[in-house]
Structure 1
Amino acid sequence: MLRHIVMIAFSDKKKAKAYSAQLKEMLIGLKSSISTLNKIEVGLNFSVRPAAHDIVLIADFDDENGLNLYREHPEHIKVLDFLKGKLEKSAVVDYYI
């Protein structure tokens, strides 16, 4: 099983909560659209520390092929389009569990 973790910080801090809520809905909705997505969890950050991100995605797949199909899926591409021009920073970790 492969775990995919993405942390995102939005550049517009005044809109970060609204963006995070909208993004969470979009991400949770991927579960019904992408068959290779076994499990998804999305958390909204409450920390005010400078190194903090606004939202985290944790998603599980059977293998790298499943992750790649997710990345290329049209519904996931819509999420990427939503994020364009809104990011301050992001971090990604993919590992086997």
Structure 2
Amino acid sequence: MIKHIVLFKLKNPTTEVVNETVAKLRSLEGKVESLIALEIGADILRTERSYDVALTATFETLEGLQAYQVHPEHVKIIEYMNSVRESSIAADYEY
């Protein structure tokens, strides 16, 4: 199994933008065949070191993760995220 974790820091982390971002990310559920599980959450501490939104996705194989990366629905989300994010960090691991 593969875990794909991404943290997003938004340019303008208002409640409205955070909620819209969470909704857009959640819209991937059921649209990408290789995506086994998806968790999305907004940061609740909102400290200086916090990122605003977290995504955790689960895939059966590395090939499934790679298919997700180029899936048209994911590409649409990337376009949106590029417009609202200040930065992001990611980690991918096998377990």
Give the structure-2-normalised TM-score: 0.91
Q: Provide the residue aligned with 1:10 in structure 2.
A: 10
Q: Provide the residue aligned with 2:69 in structure 1.
A: 71
SS at 2:47 equivalent: coil
Equivalent position to 1:39, from 37, 40, 64: 37
Please tell me whether the aligned partners of residues 9 and 53 of structure 2 are also in contact (alpha carbons under 8 angstroms).
yes
**Range with greater deviation from structure 2 (27-36 or 73-82):** 27-36
SS at 1:84 equivalent: helix
What number of residue pairs does the alignment pair up? 95
**Range with greater deviation from structure 2 (27-36 or 37-46):** 27-36
Deviation at 1:44, TM superposition (A): 0.7
1: CA distance, partners of 2:74 / 2:83? 17
Unaligned runs of 5+ in 1: none
Q: Provide the residue aligned with 1:55 in structure 2.
A: 53
Equivalent position to 1:23, from 15, 21, 24: 21
How many percent identity over aligned positions?
A: 26
Unaligned runs of 5+ in 2: none
* Deviation by residue 1:44-76 (Cα, 9 ceiling, x = unmatched): 111121110010000000111101111101110
Please tell me whether the aligned partners of residues 46 and 52 of structure 2 are also in contact (alpha carbons under 8 angstroms).
no
Q: Which runs of 4+ in 1 moved over 6 A?
A: none
Deviation at 1:86, TM superposition (A): 2.1
Aligned-CA RMSD value: 1.2
